[in-house]
Amino acid sequence: MAKRSAPTPAAAALQAAGVDFAERSYHHDPAVTDFGQEAADALGVDPARVLKTLLVDDGSALAVAIVPVTGQVDLKAVAAALGVKKVAMADPRAAERSSGYVVGGISPFGQRRQLRTLVDTSALEHGTVLVSGGRRGLDLELAPADLVRVTDATTADIARA
C-alpha cells in the first residue's frame, strides 16, 4: 500500500510511525449516521474489516474501544479488559474534545491525547482493516498488527453481534 499526503493528524501519525497504509476516500452523505457501514458500502469492502473507534468513560478517564462495524461494543467486556467496574459510552462532546475529531470521524491515530486503547481480537483475522482517517469520508487501510502497535493497544474480545 502506498503512503500519500498527510491531510489529517491520523495519516500524519501513521507516516511518522513508518506504517504502510492507504487512504480510502469516499463521498460522505450528511444524512447518514451509520458511518462505518457507509464506508464499507462506499468502498466495497467486507464490513467486518471496517472498524469503528469509540470512546468510553469509566467515570474517571476515557479509553478507546475499536470494534467491527458489524457488531456492538460489549461494555462489560471493555470494563473487564480495562480492569474497572464499569464503563459507559463517552459523551460525544467529551469524545470530540479529547480526540480532536468529530463523531463519525474519530480516528484511533493522531488523537490529542494518547488514551488506553482496546482492539477487538476479530481485527487480527484480516490481512488489512480500515479505520477512520480523521474525518468523515476518509478511511485508512492498514495491517491490524500496525493498528495495535501504533496505538499501543491491548487486544481483547470486546465486541458482540
Grid look-up 482517517 returns 133
3-state secondary structure of 72: strand
Of 64, 34, 36, nearest in space to 51 by CA: 36
CATH of 9-160, one of 3.40.47.10, 3.90.960.10, 3.40.1360.10, 1.10.10.10: 3.90.960.10
Of 115, 111, 108, 114, nearest in space to 146 by CA: 108
3-state secondary structure of 52: strand
134 CB-near residues (< 8 Å, 6+ apart): 7, 8, 9, 10, 11, 101, 105, 107, 109, 110
CA distance 34 to 89: 16
57 CB-near residues (< 8 Å, 6+ apart): 63, 87, 88, 89, 90, 91, 94
Grid look-up 491531510 returns 7
Is the entire prediction scored with pTM above 0.75? yes
Query: Per-residue pLDDT for the chain (161 aa), expressed as one digit of tens each?
Result: 554 444 699 999 999 999 999 999 999 999 998 998 999 999 999 999 999 999 999 999 999 999 999 999 999 999 999 999 999 999 999 999 999 999 999 999 999 999 999 999 999 999 999 999 999 999 999 999 999 999 999 999 999 98
